[in-house]
Structure formats: C-alpha cells, structure tokens
C-alpha cells in the first residue's frame, strides 16, 4: 500500500505499466529507478539509470516511449543555467548551456530564442509533442485506465484514444482535438515531434490564497475539494466524492467511463481502415511490412510507406518523423554531428556553441582556466579578469578585488565592511546589530529579550508565559487543561468528550458516532454517493468533462476553470499541456 492524495492505495510489487500513480514534486519523492514528470512518478529504466544525472535513463523516455519534458525559456526549475559542456543525458534546462534547452533528454539549441512566435507577454515553450497514441497496445485491468501510456486507478476517458491526426498535426491530450505542429529545429524521440507553444500571462500570477481557497480569474475563491479525501477510483466534484467506475461490469464490447458504460472501440487484429465497432474506423490497423496506417480526409485510413533518407530528420510522409543518430543533432532538417575539440568554445557547426569545462571561461574561441595562485588581491587572473581573492597585508582581507580592513567594534555584530560578519561570544546572539544574552527562566516561556523565544520541554505547551503539561488520557477528547483539546486517532471522531470509531455497512445508515455513512452497500445498479444510493448510469452517456451523478451529467469543472483532458480542471494560473495541468 502507498499513500496517494491522502488515501492508501494498492501498488503492484512489480514496476510495470499497471501501477497506481504516485504524486510527487521532485524525483527524490519517487522510488529508485522512477522519475517525477508532471507531478506523477514514471518508471525511468531501472538498471539503465545514470546515477550522476537525476535518475534518467540513456534513452530519455518514460514508459510510453514518449518524451514528456516541456522546456520553458523563462520558468525553469533551476534559473541558473551553466555555460559548460552539457551532460550526455539531461533532465532540465539548468543542465544545459544558456542558449540550449533539454529536449528528448539531450541539450539542444533553444528554438524559442529565434522563433519570434509569441505575442508580447506570452512565453514560448518548446516540447516534444506526441504524434502517435501512447496508449495504443496498452491494456489495463478492471477499475484502471490508460493515461499517457500508463495505467492509473479510475475509469477515465483519454481524449486522444483512437484519435489519429494527419501529417503535420498532433492530438492535444487536453482537448482530444488535432492541433497543427508548430515545428521547431530540434530532435525528438520516436512518435513525437518538436512543437512550440505560446503560454499567455496568468491573472493568478503572484496571487496567494488560503489553504482552503484557490485562485480563479485573479481572485481567491473557496475550494470545495480542499479538505475532501476520495477513494482510489473517485474524484472530488463540488466538494463530494464521485466514483468514476461502475458498480457492476459493463456488457461485452462496452467499458466504464466516468461512471457510465460506453462503447469500446476494438481495433485488435483489424486491418487499416476497418470498422472499430463503434461507428468509426481503425486508423491503427495492420498494414503490409514496412508500411504504417495513417488517417486521410473524410474519416478514412490508408497504408503508407514511410520515407527516411539517410541524414534527413524531417517528417517521414506518414505522420512520423525521421530521427538522427544518438551523437547527432537535427539542424536545418538534416542530421549534424557537433564538432567540439578540447579547449575550443566556438561554433559546433550545428547551430550551437561548444562549452568549456567547469571553472573555465571562454576567451575568443578558446577555453581559459583563471589562476590566482600567488597573485596579489586585484591582480590579473590570466583570462582577462581580476583575482577576487589573493594576498593582502596582515589583518586585511581581499574583498571585490581590493584589500579591506574588517571593522568590528566591541559588542557589535553584523557586516564587518569586507564581506564578512562580526560575531558574538558563546551564549550570545546577534540582535539589531548588537550582541545579546537571551534570558530564559525554567518553567516560563515567551520573548527571550533578544528577538527569540523561550520554549518549553518536550510534551509541554506555552500558555500565558508559563509551561503547561496537557492532560490527555486514552479515548478522551475534551479540554486538555492548557487551553487546547485532546484529539482522537485518525479513524475516530470526538463524540462529546469520548473518542468514537464510526462503523459503516449500509449507505445512509448511522455510523454509531452521530453521523451518517457516506459510503456503503447499495442495491445492484446503484452507488453510494454523499450518503444516498443513486443510479449508476446516465442516458445518453456523459461527454468529456462531465460526470454521471444521480443519473444526471454534471460539469466536472467549476467557474473560471479550464477542462484538461477528461479528468482535470486547470485554474487560471495553469495551462493544459499533454493532458496535465502545469503552472504557467
């Protein structure tokens, strides 16, 4: 079991596609061999992980074989890019030179720098957009859905499932519509193409809301789902948990999506252009060897022979792309191998520049290692700069290329005027420019007279300047004699002054602790929702961005939110990229 969004969920012991997603903020939050992409842990290659780069494998792909890294020219995780030689495998822009971005796990020339594509105030973002369906061929178990090529808990509709776009376009996983690829000069992995997006400014930029609020249109509004914890297959809609899966299995050829049974297209073992059984055709059917199935105008499909000339890295004529060798870079539509001799920092011949090793600087087109050994403070470093450290007379310190005499009057603290600090004696602290001795009497708490705080021993709390020991016995939840109250275990509620463990069997019944069961058994065809048994299905079936509740389709998103895919709602401070809400 693992904790995901506040709930314990079963996670397979085997690291495979069929695992419940683990929420993360950085790769360090994920298991060994996994990486954090779009706030979810993705398998990154196990034994092939490169330990000195952030846990990415040498292919630079997630489990779908699709590169999902977006590259933002203004909002990088690390805003201090290096101008040294980039790594063989990169994870974010900070590992590349200032004129490059990390695409397909490789440092490549940033296409946004010369595109002049976006309007004033917008941000250009280059990424590898999927031009093939990452869920094609992925089969998930009962109560799970394929999202971006991985199986997750819940019954959701992936907008791009069985949606195939013509050459020069890709399926936007946020809307399910085909969008034109704004081509850029960078190499992406198989099934993807370099694409540039323009992200508009957000009215919520700089707006900070309370824990139970969210920003909408620049204003803080109540977040009805802030304190709601739902089950593995449920989502929170307007403050209530709604099960995305159906209570009973759907008929053969149908599948459960957002609480309702819908027709499931079947293109397994089908020929290119054959019927999918749901009124559409199979755009991923079988073709003769060395051919691929592609959509055509009028909703049809045909077999196509990809054409990739040696050294060419553009489209293959069938909706895919021709890639270059691992050591090459796509430049001007052709494959180019960068040429960077040791110590050279000029053009690499492929639209970018060769970098220098760490600690070196580029002078002309040659790398130079500054040296200040035995050089006086402010002397030349041999590379056109000055030595910021070096020899000074006794008692002085080299500061900003000049010798400086520190000034620390008695009992003073703070800056010494030479880039250092004047310290205080043992037991003292620096307060408003002077050294101060804190005063803390046993049994008392509060201001220590030096801008700090006198605390209490472990197990005690501060009440009115004195330390107090709360009196809380097992099962008691009344006043603790120190101005607070005694709490209960996580699975209990406070009833009067005693802790009570709710027990629920039937939907809507009493839980034995003064409340009503919000979950429990219902008759066949019904599901427990907010303490009442309601019909499972909606006729006709709900569309993308809707959920079936009580036999009616209701909108998944609230006012001021943007539907992203079929399961997420982006706030005004977010943009929908690849079916995932991301901060602008």
pLDDT reported for residue 138:
81
Burial class for 22, CB neighbours closer than 10 Å (0-12, 13-18, 19+):
buried
pLDDT reported for residue 359:
81
- Phi, then psi, of 118 in degrees rounded to 5: -95, 155
CA torsion, ordered 304, 308, 314, 318, to nearest 10 deg: 10
pLDDT reported for residue 165:
73
Chain segment 150-184, per-residue pLDDT in tens = 888 888 877 777 676 767 788 887 777 788 888 88
Chain segment 400-430, per-residue pLDDT in tens = 888 999 999 888 898 999 988 898 988 899 9
- β 254-257/260-263 pair status: antiparallel
Burial 294-322 (b: 16+ CB within 10 A, else e): bbeeeeebebbebebeeeebbbbebbbbb
pLDDT reported for residue 404:
92
Inform me whether the pLDDT recorded for 83 exceeds 50. no
DSSP per-residue codes, 484-508: SB----TT-EEETTEEE-----BTT
- Mean pLDDT computed over 60-84: 36
Inform me whether the pLDDT recorded for 74 exceeds 60. no
pTM of the prediction?
Answer: 0.41
Per-domain residue ranges for the chain? 1-58
Chain segment 543-554, per-residue pLDDT in tens = 777 877 666 778
Q: Which two tokens stand for residue 506?
A: 């039937």
- Mean pLDDT, the chain, as a whole number? 77
For residue 415, the cross-strand partners are 421
CA distance 347 to 354: 6
CA distance 186 to 193: 9
pLDDT-derived band at 77 (thresholds 50, 70, 90) equals very low
Helices (H), 359-491: none
Inform me whether the pLDDT recorded for 130 exceeds 50. yes
CA distance 450 to 545: 57
Inform me whether the pLDDT recorded for 111 exceeds 60. yes
Inform me whether the pLDDT recorded for 390 exceeds 60. yes
């Amino acid at each position: 079991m693992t904790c995901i969004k506040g709930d314990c969920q079963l996670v397979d012991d085997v690291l495979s596609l069929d695992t419940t997603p683990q929420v993360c903020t950085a790769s360090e939050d994920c298991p060994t061999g996994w990486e954090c992409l779009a706030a979810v842990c993705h398998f990154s290659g196990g034994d092939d992980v490169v330990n000195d780069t952030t846990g990415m494998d040498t292919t630079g792909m997630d489990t779908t074989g699709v590169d999902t890294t977006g590259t933002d020219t203004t909002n990088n995780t690390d805003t201090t890019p290096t101008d040294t030689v980039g790594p063989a495998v990169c994870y974010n822009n900070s590992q590349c030179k200032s004129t490059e971005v990390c695409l397909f796990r490789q440092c490549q020339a940033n296409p946004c720098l010369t595109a002049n594509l976006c309007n004033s105030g917008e941000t250009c973002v280059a990424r590898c957009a999927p031009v093939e369906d990452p869920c094609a061929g992925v089969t998930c178990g009962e109560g799970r859905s394929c999202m971006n090529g991985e199986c997750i808990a819940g019954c959701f509709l992936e907008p791009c499932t069985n949606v195939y776009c013509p050459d020069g376009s890709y399926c936007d996983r946020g809307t399910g519509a085909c969008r034109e690829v704004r081509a850029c000069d960078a190499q992406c992995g198989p099934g993807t193409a370099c694409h540039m997006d323009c992200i508009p400014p957000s009215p919520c930029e700089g707006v900070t809301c309370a824990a139970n609020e969210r920003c909408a249109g620049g204003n803080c509004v109540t977040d009805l789902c802030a304190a709601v914890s739902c089950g593995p297959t449920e989502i929170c809609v307007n403050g209530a948990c709604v099960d995305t899966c159906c209570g009973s299995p759907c008929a053969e050829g149908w599948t459960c999506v957002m609480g309702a049974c819908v027709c499931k297209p079947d293109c397994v073992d089908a020929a290119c252009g054959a019927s999918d059984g749901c009124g559409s055709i199979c755009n991923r059917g079988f073709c003769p060897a060395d051919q691929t199935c592609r959509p055509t105008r009028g909703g049809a499909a045909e077999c196509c022979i990809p054409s990739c000339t040696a050294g060419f890295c553009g489209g293959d004529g069938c909706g895919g792309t021709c890639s270059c060798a691992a050591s090459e870079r796509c430049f001007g539509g052709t494959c180019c191998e960068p040429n960077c001799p040791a110590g050279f920092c000029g053009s690499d011949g492929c639209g970018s520049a060769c970098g220098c090793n760490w600690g070196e600087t580029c002078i002309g087109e040659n790398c130079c290692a500054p040296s200040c050994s035995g050089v006086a403070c402010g002397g030349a470093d041999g590379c056109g700069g000055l030595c910021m450290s070096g020899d000074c007379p006794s008692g002085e310190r080299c500061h900003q290329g000049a010798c400086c005499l520190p000034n620390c009057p008695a009992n003073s603290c703070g800056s010494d005027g030479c880039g250092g600090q004047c310290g205080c004696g043992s037991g003292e602290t620096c307060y408003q420019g002077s050294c101060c001795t804190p005063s803390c009497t046993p049994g008392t708490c509060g201001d220590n007279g030096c801008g700090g705080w006198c605390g209490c021993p472990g197990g005690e709390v501060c009440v009115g300047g004195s330390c107090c020991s709360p009196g809380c016995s097992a099962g008691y939840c009344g006043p603790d004699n120190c101005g607070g109250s005694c709490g209960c275990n996580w699975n209990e509620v406070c009833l009067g002054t005693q802790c009570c463990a709710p027990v629920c069997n039937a939907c809507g019944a009493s839980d034995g602790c003064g409340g009503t069961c919000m979950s429990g058994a219902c008759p066949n065809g019904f599901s427990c929702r907010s303490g009442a048994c309601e019909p499972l299905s909606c006729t006709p079936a709900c569309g993308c961005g809707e959920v079936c509740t009580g036999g009616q389709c209701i909108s998944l998103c609230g006012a001021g939110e943007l539907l992203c895919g079929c399961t997420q709602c982006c706030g005004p401070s977010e943009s929908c990229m690849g079916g995932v809400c991301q901060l602008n």
